[in-house]
Amino acid sequence: MRCPCTPFASFFAICVAISIATYCHAEELRVPAFTAYMLPNPESARFSEQKGITRWNDPAQSVNWYGKFAKSGELKLKVELCLPEGAQSRFKLTIGEESHEATVTGLGLDKTVSADFGVFKIAAVGHQRMQLESMNESKGPIGDIKALSLDGPATDQVHFNLKERRNAASVHLMYPTPEGTDIEAFYCEVTAIEDPTTTFYMACGWHRGYFGMQVNSPTERRIIFSVWDSGNEEVDRKKVNDENRVKLMGKGEGVFTGDFGNEGTGGHSHLKTMWKTGEKQRFLVTAKPVEKTTIFSGYWYRPDERKWMLISSWRAPKEGGWLRGVHSFSENFGGSNGHLLRKARYGNQWIRTPENKWVELTNAKFSHDPTGRADRFDRYMGVENGEFFLSHGGFVDGFVKYGDMFTREKTGKSPSDLELPKFDVAP
């Protein structure tokens, strides 16, 4: 996804751009097209590192870059693109309330031309969207977009994500537990506030698995419970010996079970159900040691039926202990809509000991994946309505440092009235 130039210069420029996402103003800054987003349909054009944005044929769709500005001031903007020789395209570029237009004539699909939009005024620091629209009157090739070029005082310390991965950063809540406490069960409630597709709000995570709710498409949502195999295979479960595989012990009605890979391997289960945004969802994961294995089970409370159901239960080899490392997270697993805000509240966290004692967890530490370290700064947490929240994506200006600790008020409402379905967990 880079413009035509000498191979060495192109390679060097991309390496520098990918390594450094924050710039001090020294010269023109080039932001590759493959880092942008199409709106309103994120799938309306093709993105690649080699060719940039291609197959943009619909004037109703726009190309959108997002940057975080540390300084106000003037900003000169150009867009690099390729057009068939002699072809013309009209464009409009908008930042905030200010819009400029430009017309370009193509020199051939192997030759880059620039649409010069002149000087804009960045009035306030923080995230800004740069929206490129076609002013063509009919559908047809609009141009292959290569990059957005910025120059001027406002580029001083400006920040863009310059990597091809356009996913919002994954964000986590890590719950400290009393030292030496055996954890037989972990309970958490989650309320989705925003619901873009390719979002996974994970309620109950521990050292061997994860349990939460996912938005797969506008018409499909899932409750997901998965448990990792033993061993070190990262990709292909077919390579995992039987002695290292988790074994299915039971599942609820309508639940699909199978394998997963590419993130470690293990046993996967999901229930297709249209859980509701804004409605509290309740999750419980339990551990039952059996000799040198542990049976991990995931239960979800069905709001429509007002009862708990088993999603699935798996025997994990090379265990024999309890739950460890309890946590929650929020993930954007598809990059085409990584510009959208994802937010959920996580509340009323409890753990239960083997002696049937419930302990409330009121502290949570914030963390994030490598994308949140230097590429995307639109990720943070806090306390809202007596619950923790996680927010990522949307190119909003909230920011929390890795490792910051937050405390919510106690509810005192333990889930001691659980009525869980029974199933056979005998060896």
CA dihedral (32, 38, 42, 44) positive or negative = negative
Query: DSSP H helical segments within 88-226, as ranges?
Result: none
How many residues are present in the chain?
427
What's the token pair of residue 206? 């521990």
Q: Report the DSSP beta bridge partners of residue 240.
A: none
Q: Is 418 exposed, middle or buried (0-12, 13-18, 19+ CB in 10 A)?
A: middle
Q: CB–CB of 65/128 below 8 Å?
A: no
What's the token pair of residue 277? 């945004």
| CA distance to 21, 201, 208, 215, 255, per residue, from 331 (Å) | 22, 7, 18, 11, 22
The pLDDT of residue 144 is 97
What ranges do the domains of the chain cover? Answer: 7-155, 171-407
Examine domains 7-155 and 171-407 and report if their fold is the same.
yes
Rounded Cα distance, 317 and 292, in Å: 7
Closest CA to 166 of 392, 401, 324, 322: 392
Give the chain's residues under pLDDT 70.
Answer: 1-27, 423-427
The pLDDT of residue 18 is 40
- How far apart, in Å, do the first and last CA atoms of the chain sit? 55
Rounded Cα distance, 363 and 186, in Å: 15
pTM: 0.89
The pLDDT of residue 424 is 55
The pLDDT of residue 399 is 87
CA dihedral (16, 22, 26, 30) positive or negative = positive
The pLDDT of residue 417 is 85
CATH for 171-407 is 2.60.120
Complete DSSP assignment for 6-38 = -HHHHHHHHHHHHH--B--SSS-EEEEGGG-EE
**Top-tier CATH class for 7-155:** mainly beta
Closest CA to 426 of 228, 264, 291: 291
Residue 30 φ then ψ, to 5°? -110, 120
The pLDDT of residue 100 is 98
Complete DSSP assignment for 58-88 = -TT-EEEEEEEESS-EEEEEEEEEEE-TT-E
